[in-house]
Amino acid sequence: MTHCRGQRFMGRIAVSAAVLLFGALTLPGTAAATAKAAASVAGSESVTSATWGAKATASVLTFTTNVAQTSTVANTGTIALSGVGYTVTISNPTSGSPSFTLYACATAWSGGKCGGGTGTKVGTTYAKNTTTPVTSTVVPAVGGSVYLQATPSGVTSSVSMTLVTTITSASQLRARVVTNQ
């Protein structure tokens, strides 16, 4: 009889932990997206707490010429990510029809090149006066960074690109590791 009560108790704790984790995973994203999940159990099992997040060092890039600009995105959490979401907003300049491409690189940009290449394109081409949510699989390691480069075309007056990072889904976290203990 005591064994059954113990199983029911552990089941209730597991359900409570799942509800807490679901709530943490459904928090809306912000400019510096972060969240925390934690739970506790009785007996010989253990659950640890962790956080995940990503933050861009320059969230607004302002262009007056067709010269590329960069931003660094740091993993501010303690969990490895498998994707980072960005909401890319291009302002409406007073003249011209500029467009932008965004590239991600695991190493810092040097001379407009990513480790000798062009980097990985994030999303599509962004036009003036638009807001576009996109996801990149080029992600910063825990405690590390990835490097973005925004490349403009057709800039004739001041225009800005705003980057908001988001981690909103468990699909952007690495798969859990299961061990037999």
User: What b/e sequence results for 129-154 when a residue is b if at least 16 CB atoms lie within 10 Å of its CB, and e otherwise?
Assistant: eeeeeebbebbbeeeebbbbbbbbee
So what's the pLDDT on residue 11? 44
Q: What is the pTM of this model?
A: 0.67
So what's the pLDDT on residue 49? 62
pLDDT band at residue 30 using 50, 70 and 90 as cut-offs:
very low
pLDDT band at residue 181 using 50, 70 and 90 as cut-offs:
low
Domain architecture of the chain: domains with CATH:
30-35+52-172 (2.60.120)
What residue has token string 């690495």? 174
Read off the pLDDT of residues 3-23 as tens digits, 9 standing for 90 and up.
444 444 444 444 343 333 333
So what's the pLDDT on residue 170? 57
Read off the pLDDT of residues 157-173 as tens digits, 9 standing for 90 and up.
999 999 998 875 555 55
So what's the pLDDT on residue 15? 36
Q: Does 84 or 41 have the greater pLDDT score? A: 84
Residue 130 pairs in a beta bridge with 90
Q: Does 173 or 129 have the greater pLDDT score? A: 129
Q: By percentage, how much of the chain surpasses pLDDT 70?
A: 61
